[in-house]
Structure 1
Amino acid sequence: MRRWDGVFLRALAAAATALLAACQASAPVRPQATAPNAALHFDLADSWGGDLQCRPERKRCLLAAVEHEESRLALIELTGRQARRLDAQPLAYHPDSAAWLADDLLAAAVEASASLDIFRVVEGRLVRVHQVALGFSPRDVVRVSAADGSYQLLATPYSGDWVAWVDWRADGSTPDRVQRTTWCRTPWHPVHVDKLPGEAAGGHVVACLDGKKVVAVSDANPRAAPHTLAEFDAVARQARPSPSGRWLYVALETGERNARIDLRTGELQWIAGTRKGSAAAAALGDNLVLWGEDMRLRLQRLDDAGQVLESRVLPTSGFSTDVLLRDIDGDGEVDAVVLNSTGKRSDVIYGPLWDRAAPLH
């Protein structure tokens, strides 16, 4: 009897095994879910500056950025969570930044040629169309306005105190108009803000490296002498507004603290920093800011008085000189394009940025 029981049990087990295998073979194979990459590192060497234009409906951005030591202007397509270099064109020694003028036009600020070099994008390629002589070596260029093929640009210097307002027509029907004036010692990274303290209008603000201050000119009278918003005992590297326009965050390269200016009242608040200081500022909210530093972004959540409630960190591929905030992959979250002025690569860090960042103690 025990022998029969054993034979029967072995036969039953074999049948069950065969039935299970048949069921598994007929069941659909489900692909394993994989989390999307949290960051993308792409080839872009020693990038001192650049600009983005994005088409959220197509989940596509075009990054125009300079490679400082290679003396090149690069055009990079960011689609979803991939990067592809479309083209690169040589420039004179030490290009410093680039800005989009229109969907197919961009300008690069070039030190050695003391010029703005203007390119048109034709079927994914950069075609040089014009060069504007400035009379000084530019560090930055931004578009001020554009209408019917006419463009107004603002260029600020690598060193010195000259700035230039440039009027240029794409069809060449009128000569370039370059109006130079002086602002402060080494004004870098101009940006437009919608509100200025004591003004009915907005204007352009700039951090003065050697002048150790932030100055502004009003849209109501942009050719007037700038007025000072704040002075510091440290190098003012970059100033950037919060999304609401209330605060102007100021990255200080030395001094163990950064700052922000209330653009409604002019109040200055100090923000605890690090010994090495910060090179770039970018605000995710009125009280949520990130700072570009060596090999990292440092994120801080603040209270209304500017006191740090919590700090977090995201790694980067070099000395993070500029941070561009956009929704790169079209998922509704703000992402960070990080341009590194040292190293061979730049980065895209995908949002939500605060949630992805590691606690910093």
Structure 2
Amino acid sequence: MTTLLCVLALTASLTAPTLAAAATDEEAAANATTDLDPELEAELGRAIDLGITYLRGQQADDGAWSDSVGVTALALRAQLESPQAMPGDDPMIEKGVAFILKHVNDDGSISETNHNRNYNTAVAMTTLAATGEPKYEAVIADAQRFLQGLQLDEADGYEPSHNYYGGIGYGGDERPDLSNLYMALEAMKATDLDPDDPLWDKALTFVTRSQNNSETNDIEVSVDDGGFAYMPNYSPHGEGRSYGGMTSAGLLSLLFAGVDKTDPRVQAAYDWIRANYTVETNPNATGKQGLFYYYNAFAKAMAAYGEPLVTDTDGVSHDWRRDLGKRLLALQDADGSWVNKDSSRWWEGDPNLVTSWSLIALNHIHGR
């Protein structure tokens, strides 16, 4: 599980984005509406069913997937949020939730390991909220307090002028990063943390400093293209390179924190996505590393942004739901799973994790 959260810390890359690859059918994209083509919608529904069937066959006797709270929570969320989700008791869901609850700790964290406590706790909170069960409210409230305690601020010796201020890391004493913070903010949004809670404003300090945008960033940036890096002026592959996974995570973080779509930070992030639009790769990342993390974050970010079409900087309109849906259909294996065949780095060689991410993306595409 040590490397699981590193999945969330997607690497940057030297590979240039390919806009033309995303426009496989410009005419269809130009005429797209908020509704998917019925034939494609049916295909996506079948793919979701097949993926869920795969996951159900991979659950261990103790209720876990990949012996991990994080992967288990994602697998459960993928099924709970599915448009094909059935009401009523489901023994498989109950077993998975029981595994999660077995790893609730006295400090409020939900994790089987100390290293990834933020990630595990965050995705477990989101999944417990997705059950709609009031009986988990106390566990969720304790988990919220745990994540609030992880945020670096004055109590930890960090003044607002410090680049780490407002960030959250893996869950120990290590440095913060945007990926960890985004997952925590998603959990707080899903569990209805008070929008006036100080956590949001503190988080925006770190998020804004992780954006390569000299117009809004109060620190000097090494790159100035509006996208997001892993942390202020740092990307895993050198300098402060912006890349697709983190830019989607950054855009989501801004929206989770209540920043308006007209805000220059949101517009700069969206313009980066427009300039680097593709579903063939994780744009501006090395090869296919972090590809499915990107698909998951991109689908959530586009759904939250609320526009069915993305018009790239060449003036070509793209129906992102159609494009990503067709891409995920093409990448699904016959057994219903997804896995990154080109790069197993950051746990993308684990089909339980990658299938869960792909299903969550498809749930957003399908209109959940």
Q: One fold, TM greater than 0.5?
A: no
TM-score by length of 1: 0.30
Larger helix share, 1 or 2: 2
Larger Rg: 1
TM-score by length of 2: 0.29
Larger strand share, 1 or 2: 1
